[in-house]
């Protein structure tokens, strides 16, 4: 399987696992600072994995910049109150847009995406290492 296809598949599996975990945290975890941080980390990881799934060729740092930009934009949008109003009218929107601004979330996004970049890079290095050696043709 070519590298972009393999990276897309791994990202898709990570995205499914991340969303499932996020929904479980949202549904069953008590509403505490720890569950809020876990939700923020899972949101950032989902953003990174989703971008890799859509765009499997760019380097991890470029995906990271886009994921941080997305998460930051959504967090800043919360300052307008629009996500909270939309969430009151259509509760599933809260899962995508959140409700209220919390500056701590920005730090959680950055740290989580940094870890995602390290994991993405490590997986890519492992894939490169496992390729069979090609013998020169004469």
pLDDT tens-digit readout, 63-108: 999 999 999 999 999 999 999 999 999 999 999 999 999 999 999 9
3-state secondary structure of 128: helix
Q: Are 51 and 15 in contact (CB under 8 A)?
A: no
Q: For residue 24, what are the contacts with CB-CB under 8 A and spacing of at least 6?
A: none
pLDDT digits (tens, 9 = 90+) for 54-71: 999 999 999 999 999 999
127 and 6 in contact (C-beta within 8 Å)?
A: yes
pTM of the shown model: 0.88
Name the token pair of 28: 């069953």
């Amino acid at each position: 399987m070519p590298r972009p296809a393999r990276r897309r598949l791994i990202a898709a599996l990570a995205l499914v696992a991340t969303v499932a975990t996020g929904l479980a945290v949202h549904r069953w975890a008590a509403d505490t600072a720890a569950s809020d941080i876990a939700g923020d980390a899972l949101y950032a990881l989902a953003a990174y994995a989703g971008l890799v799934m859509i765009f499997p060729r760019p380097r991890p740092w470029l995906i990271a910049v886009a994921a941080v930009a997305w998460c930051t934009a959504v967090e800043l949008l919360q300052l307008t109150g629009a996500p909270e109003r939309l969430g009151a009218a259509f509760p599933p929107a809260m899962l995508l847009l959140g409700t209220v601004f919390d500056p701590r979330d920005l730090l959680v996004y950055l740290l989580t995406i940094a870890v995602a970049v390290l994991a993405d890079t490590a997986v890519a290095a492992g894939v490169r290492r496992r390729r069979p050696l090609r013998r020169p043709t004469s």
